[in-house]
Structures are given as structure tokens and as C-alpha cells.
């Protein structure tokens, strides 16, 4: 029965199925245009506010937000969960204070003064050199030097304090859940859908329930960060344990290992690479979320950036943005180098050789501490000596506005009036039943009745919850951004993959840009287009194009060498090999890149609401300002369900395509 439900339409019939589906959707649109569409199939009641609900927006057809509000407040007040959450909040606050005062000085930092910036710089450079040589050493040292000289040292240390509290907790929880999912299949089946929703839920949707349950402050940002960062650690731990060869596990059992010894001494060490990659992802996710958590009181560089952006101080915002980018790249480099570094066996070496890097770090830090007593600038950079180039950036923005304003305005008006507005109006014009038929029909063609019911059910929730119009505005932005990303990213990836040197450079830049926190991509578009809808869409495009390029390059590079040799021996030229071999074989991987582009676009479109748009993102911001749990969660689920529907369809098609090509 399950196989029948999950069986899609045979490939030879899919073209006719797609044509029939398009004809059905066109017919429904024509019926609406002619005025023959029944109202209950055209649109459903939207949200509204009434006095008897205290001005809270709700929908009578499916008041999911009101139901969730009652559930949350029942847990919080009636069951006394608030006592537990407040205890956790206080404990985390104390932990953050310890790290914060250790880095910035204070009584809770064991009574010591803050370490000089020069001492921390020396330790960072030694750590970078020990893990990957002088390039990483210069990157780590340059990052801290920039933060010190630009007057951002205090905010950088606050950000590192938040990371120091969030990262270990996220790693521990993710590792334990990953092990539990590996040991118990029922736990895995329960966790996977929750993690799928969690990873597609907009960042700001996390913040609303966290604020209500845990209050506002540094600790609340850490809690939101932990919730956001745990899923990738769980997935990579599970993946690593699954990849342990059965022979290694059997060898451990034959050596007399019990269950605990088998796990800790055989399986976890064998899964080391994937687990450390999970640590890398946790660090990156935590840094990205720490910036966004500034909306609920988290201190550090994110709070400073938010404050300057709200004041439209672009120059100072760019200074802070560069600091965040450098910090992200440095932390990514350190964690990746740690994950990839081979274990050194130094038991037979002398003491100084075994501990040369720790001893060097301690020696340099002690020297910097001593020097800082005689040269105060090595301890704290005075405010009047801080280097700032904000005025240069502001002058550049003014020059762009003065000299490019006519051209940029013409471009903006052309794009909005001739492309964006018609696309938006077309989606808003479509009856909801036509969209349900489209996504359900695609699910039926690609994945059978199970996929049809799943995708149409997810979109039906959006319609019944009363957020259909806002969801269609979000969808039109994602559709346009994805189209541009594919139009530019896929050809760029193909061109890069034609030469190994270009492919390596493309992957390097993709890795670099992917480490940037998503909020950073808002800065350049504000410089060019100010605050409006086009700025939001362009920010989505700049952020989401990365996986389109990356997966195209990887797909082209992963075409088996044997196939290359076979078509070359058959007399195919370079163009024939590209069109008839490389692109068809790489297409499933390229489509996974398109899928990731869509996921990135859904994630970024909510953040981009900060600079415009009237979509679901704007409503999520409003719910956050009102601390409206039910409304915020429902809005987040609407975004998540659209993303999950696309992810399910593309993944099913790609998996079947790989199976037909014999690649699985």
C-alpha cells in the first residue's frame, strides 16, 4: 500500500501529465476571469481584528493563532512551565556573564581584568598557524586587529561571549539527539520532520515564543540560537554514525567492547569528520543567529549593526558588517581546519615538541600582557586613536545617489512596473484552488498520491489560516529571485566547471560568501537602492545565488571519468560532451542546487522584510513587536510549509532521476 501511494507517474507519461495540469490551471483562471468561479473556490476569509479579541488578528475559518496562543499560555501559566523557563533563563544569563566578564573584565570573570587585545590576538594567530599555517594565522590576527582598531572590540567580545555560551550547549544537545536517533529508529522518525520544519522556519519565528517563555535579554538570544543551531548537528552526527563501516563495528564487538565502549571508542571516533563538520555548522549557525537575536536584546556586533541600520548610518553599518564577515570567515576557517586536521601522534617526542604551540601561545600572551603595562595602547585602543572610514562609505553612498539616482530609479521603476508587479498580480489573481491543484498535481506526477496529499495539504493550511494573499506575495518574490539566480548561477557554474582552476576559485568564493551572516547582504542593496521592495528582492538574489553556482560546479565535476573517456572515444567534441553527457548526468545535482537556492530565498525573504515588502515577513516582524506567539508561529509555519513542499518535490524528482541514471 505504501509503495503504491509513493509511486509517481511513469516518466514517459509525465509530459502529458504536466500539459493536462497546466490546462486545468489555465481553465480555472479563465473561469475566474469570466466571473464563473464560485467564491468559496476563489478565496477564503483573511485575517481581521475585532474588539472582542483585544485587537488580535484572527481567522474564523481556522483560528490557528488563537489556538496556539491558548496552548502556549496554558503551558506557561497553568502548568507552571514559566518557573522552569525562568530558571533556565537565569542560569544561562549567569553563564553568559561569566564569559562576558572573562573577555571584558569584571567581578564575575573570577575577579581578573580583561585580557589585552594584543594577548588575544597573539593566541588567535598561534591557533590559526597550528591548525592550518600562516594564511589562517594572518586571517585570525587581522580579524581581531580590525575589531580593535575600528573601535568594535567591546562588541566583538560580547559576540564571542554569546558564542561561547551557545556553541557548546548546541553541540552537546545535537550530539546526544543524533546518537539517540541512531540507536532508536522511532526517535529518528519523530525528529526528522521536526528538524525539517525547524530548518525551514524563518529565523524571526523562533524569537517570538522564546521572548514570551524566557523574556528579553542576552540569554534569550542564546536560547533562540541553540534552537536554530541544533538540527544540523543532529543530522551530521546521524550521518557520521550511519557511515561507519559494519566491519569496524563488528571488530569492536569481537574485541569485547560493551555498548558504551563501542560507541565512545569505535563509532564516534570513526564518525569524527562528520561530527566535526557538524561543529563547524553549529558555529556558523550560531553566529548568524546571534546577529538576528539582536532584535530581542542580544548584545554584541549584531545589536550595534541593527542600531546603525535603523538610523540609516550606512558607513558605520558597513564597518560593523565587515567585522562580522571577518569574524565569520575566521571562525569558519578555524573550525574547518580543526575538522580536517589529521591526528598527530607525538607520544615519543620531547615535552617541548609535543606542546610547542600551547607553550608558544602562553609565552606570547604573557609577553603581550607585560608589554601592555608599559604601552597602554596594547591593552585598549583609545577612542581617539580608533580608525574609522565611515565617512568614506557615506561619501560613496552620497556619490551613488547623486550620480546614479536617475539610472537606478529608471531601472527600479522598469523592473517593478513591467515584471514584479505583473507577476505579483498574477499570483494574487489565481484562485487558491488553482494553486492547490498545481502543487497537488505536481506531487501526483512526481511522487504519487502521498506527495500530492502532502503538498496540497501544506498549502491548504496556508489558505485556511487566512494568510493566502501575503503568502502569494512571498511566493512571487521567491519565484522571481530563484529565476534570476538560476539564470545567472547555473551558466556561471557550468562555465567555471569547464576548467579546474576556475572551478576551484568558484568553490572557494562560494565557501567564503556562504559563511557571511544573511543580514550582511542587506547592506550593499541599501547603498544602491535605498529602502524599498526591490532592495529586498535583490538581497534575496545576492544571498541565494551561492548554492546555484556551487551545486552546478560540483555536479559537473562529479561526472564519472569513465563516461568522459567513453564519449571521447566515440568521437564526441567538447560541445557534444557537454550537452549530451555532462549536463544530463549533472542535472539531478544541479536541481538539488536549485532546491537549495529556493530554501535560501525563503530564508532571506523574511529577513529582507527589514528593508521593505508587505509579505509574510512584515507580519512576522509585527508579531515579534507585539510578542504575539500564535500569530508568529502560524506565519512561520506558512513560510516553512511552502519551502517544505518545494523541497519535497525537487528531492523526489532528483532521487528518481539519479536512480534512472544508475547513480544510486
Task: Please tell me the predicted confidence (pLDDT) of residue 52.
Answer: 42
Q: Which pLDDT score, from 0 to 100, does residue 138 have?
A: 93
Task: Look at residue 482 in the predicted model and tell me its pLDDT.
Answer: 92
- Residues 410, 334 within the same domain: no
Does residue 409 share a domain with residue 315?
no
Residue 474 included in any domain? yes
Q: Which of 343, 363, 379 is the last residue of a domain?
A: 343
Residue 434 domain flag: no
Write the CB contacts of 624 (distance below 8 Å, at least 6 apart in sequence). 204, 207, 208, 211, 295, 296, 632
110 plus 192 within the same structural domain? yes
Indicate whether 337 and 401 sit together in one domain. Answer: no
State which H helix or E strand residue 39 sits in. Answer: helix 39-42
* Beta-carbon-side half-sphere exposure of residue 387 (alpha carbons within 13 Å): 5
Q: What is the pLDDT of residue 110?
A: 59
User: Are 153 and 382 contacting, i.e. CB atoms less than 8 angstroms apart?
Assistant: no
- pLDDT tens for residues 389-444? 878 877 887 787 777 777 777 887 888 888 888 888 888 888 889 999 999 988 88
Other C-beta atoms within 10 Å of 658: how many? 17
Please identify, among 328, 343, 358, the residue that sits at the C-terminal boundary of a domain: 343
- Is residue 493 included in any domain, yes or no? yes
Of 227, 229, 267, residue with least CA distance to 247: 267
Q: How far apart are CA 166 and CA 264, in angstroms?
A: 24
Query: 402 and 332 in one domain?
Result: no
Is 534 part of a structural domain of the chain? yes
Look at residue 338 and tell me if it is in a domain. yes
Residue 11 maps to a domain: no
DSSP state of 2: H
Do 412 and 537 lie in one domain? The reply is yes
Looking at the fold, whether 280 and 417 belong to one and the same domain comes out as no
pTM of the complete model: 0.82
Residue 247 lies in a domain: yes
User: Are the beta carbons of 455 and 32 closer than 8 angstroms?
Assistant: no
- Asked if 410 and 338 sit in the same domain, the reply is no
**What domain count does the chain have?**
2
**Residue 300 and residue 402 in one domain:** no
**173-189 burial string, b = 16+ CB within 10 Å, else e?**
bbbebbbebbeeeeebe
The backbone torsions φ and ψ at residue 147, rounded to the nearest 5 degrees and listed phi first, read -65, -35
Write down the pLDDT at residue 137.
92
Clarify whether residues 326 and 423 are in a common domain: no
CA 250 to CA 450: how far, in whole Å? 38
Which portions of the chain are predicted below pLDDT 70?
A: 1-9, 47-61, 106-112, 342-349, 384, 527, 529-533, 564, 611-613, 661-664
Per-residue pLDDT at 133: 85
Q: Residue 590 falls within a domain, yes or no?
A: yes
Structural domain of residue 408, as residue ranges?
396-429+466-660
Q: Which of 325, 309, 326 is nearest to 317 (CA)?
A: 309
For 301-332, b where at least 16 C-beta lie within 10 A, e where not — what string? bbbbbbebbeeebbbbbbbbbbbbbbbbbbbb
What angle do helix axes 616-626 and 468-497 make, rounded to 10 degrees? Answer: 120
The CATH number given to whatever domain includes residue 475 is 1.10.3720.10
Residue carrying C-alpha cell 607525538: 346
d(CA 172, CA 169): 5
Same-domain status, 269 and 414: no
- Domain boundary pick from 298, 320, 343: 343
Q: What is the DSSP string of 405-474?
A: HHHHHHHHHHHIIIIIHHHHHHHHHS-HHHHHHHHHHHHHHHHHHHHHHHHHHHHHHHHHHT-HHHHHHH
Instruction: Tell me: do 331 and 470 sit in the same domain.
Output: no
Amino acid at each position: 500500500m505504501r509503495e503504491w501511494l509513493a509511486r509517481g507517474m511513469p516518466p514517459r507519461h509525465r509530459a502529458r501529465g504536466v500539459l493536462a495540469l497546466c490546462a486545468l490551471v489555465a481553465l480555472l483562471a479563465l473561469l475566474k476571469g469570466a466571473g464563473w468561479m464560485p467564491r468559496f473556490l476563489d478565496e477564503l476569509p483573511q485575517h481581521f481584528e475585532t474588539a472582542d479579541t483585544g485587537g488580535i488578528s484572527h481567522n474564523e475559518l481556522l483560528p490557528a493563532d488563537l489556538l496556539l496562543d491558548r496552548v502556549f499560555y496554558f503551558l506557561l501559566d497553568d502548568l507552571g512551565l514559566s518557573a522552569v523557563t525562568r530558571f533556565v533563563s537565569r542560569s544561562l544569563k549567569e553563564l553568559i556573564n561569566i564569559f562576558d566578564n572573562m573577555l571584558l573584565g569584571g567581578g564575575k570573570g573570577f575577579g581578573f581584568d580583561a585580557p589585552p587585545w594584543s594577548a588575544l590576538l597573539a593566541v588567535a594567530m598561534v591557533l590559526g598557524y597550528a591548525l592550518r599555517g600562516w594564511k589562517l594565522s594572518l586571517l585570525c590576527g587581522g580579524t581581531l586587529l580590525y575589531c580593535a582598531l575600528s573601535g568594535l572590540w567591546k562588541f566583538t567580545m560580547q559576540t564571542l561571549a554569546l558564542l561561547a555560551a551557545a556553541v557548546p550547549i548546541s553541540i552537546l544537545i545535537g550530539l546526544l539527539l543524533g546518537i539517540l536517533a541512531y540507536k532508536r529508529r522511532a526517535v529518528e522518525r519523530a525528529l526528522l520532520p521536526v528538524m525539517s520544519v525547524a530548518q525551514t522556519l524563518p529565523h524571526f519565528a523562533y524569537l517570538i515564543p522564546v521572548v514570551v517563555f524566557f523574556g528579553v535579554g542576552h540569554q534569550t538570544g542564546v536560547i533562540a540560537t541553540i534552537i536554530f543551531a541544533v538540527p544540523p548537528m543532529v543530522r551530521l552526527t546521524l550521518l557520521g554514525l550511519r557511515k561507519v563501516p559494519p566491519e569496524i563495528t563488528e571488530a569492536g564487538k569481537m574485541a569485547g567492547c560493551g555498548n558504551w565502549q563501542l560507541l565512545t571508542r569505535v563509532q564516534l571516533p570513526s564518525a569524527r569528520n562528520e561530527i566535526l563538520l557538524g561543529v563547524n555548522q553549529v558555529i556558523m549557525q550560531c553566529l548568524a543567529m546571534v546577529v538576528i537575536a539582536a532584535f530581542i536584546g542580544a548584545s554584541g556586533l549584531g545589536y550595534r549593526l541593527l542600531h546603525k541600520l535603523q538610523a540609516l548610518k550606512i558607513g558605520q553599518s558597513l564597518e560593523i558588517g565587515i567585522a562580522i564577515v571577518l569574524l565569520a570567515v575566521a571562525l569558519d576557517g578555524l573550525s574547518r581546519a580543526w575538522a580536517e586536521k589529521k591526528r598527530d601522534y607525538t607520544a615519543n617526542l620531547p615535552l617541548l615538541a609535543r606542546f610547542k604551540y600551547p607553550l608558544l601561545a602562553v609565552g606570547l600572551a604573557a609577553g603581550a600582557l607585560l608589554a601592555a603595562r608599559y604601552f597602554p595602547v596594547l591593552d585598549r585602543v583609545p577612542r581617539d586613536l580608533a580608525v574609522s572610514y565611515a565617512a568614506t562609505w557615506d561619501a560613496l553612498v552620497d556619490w551613488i545617489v547623486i550620480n546614479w539616482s536617475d539610472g537606478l530609479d529608471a531601472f527600479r521603476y522598469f523592473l517593478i512596473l513591467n515584471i514584479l508587479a505583473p507577476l505579483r498580480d498574477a499570483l494574487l489573481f489565481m484562485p487558491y484552488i488553482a494553486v492547490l491543484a498545481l502543487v497537488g498535481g505536481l506531487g501526483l506526477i512526481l511522487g504519487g498520491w502521498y506527495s500530492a496529499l502532502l503538498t496540497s495539504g501544506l498549502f491548504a493550511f496556508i489558505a485556511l489560516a487566512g494568510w493566502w494573499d501575503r503568502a502569494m506575495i512571498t511566493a512571487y518574490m521567491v519565484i522571481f529571485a530563484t529565476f534570476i539566480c538560476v539564470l545567472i548561477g547555473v551558466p556561471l557554474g557550468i562555465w567555471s566547471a569547464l576548467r579546474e582552476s576556475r572551478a576551484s576559485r568558484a568553490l572557494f568564493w562560494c565557501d567564503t560568501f556562504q559563511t557571511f551572516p544573511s543580514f550582511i547582504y542587506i547592506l550593499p542593496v541599501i547603498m544602491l537602492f535605498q529602502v524599498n521592495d526591490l532592495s529586498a528582492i535583490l538581497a534575496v538574489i545576492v544571498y541565494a545565488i551561492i548554492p546555484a553556482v556551487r551545486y552546478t560546479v560540483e555536479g559537473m565535476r562529479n561526472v564519472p571519468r569513465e563516461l568522459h573517456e567513453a564519449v571521447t572515444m566515440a568521437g564526441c567534441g567538447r560541445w557534444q560532451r557537454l550537452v549530451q553527457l555532462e549536463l544530463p548526468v549533472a542535472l539531478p545535482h544541479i536541481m538539488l542546487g536549485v532546491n537549495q537556492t529556493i530554501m535560501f530565498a525563503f530564508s532571506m525573504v523574511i529577513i529582507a522584510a527589514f528593508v521593505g515588502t508587505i509579505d509574510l515577513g512584515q507580519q512576522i516582524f509585527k508579531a515579534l513587536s507585539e510578542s504575539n506567539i500564535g500569530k508568529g508561529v502560524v506565519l512561520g509555519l506558512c513560510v516553512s510549509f511552502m519551502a517544505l513542499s518545494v523541497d519535497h518535490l525537487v528531492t523526489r524528482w532528483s532521487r528518481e532521476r539519479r536512480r534512472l541514471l544508475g547513480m544510486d
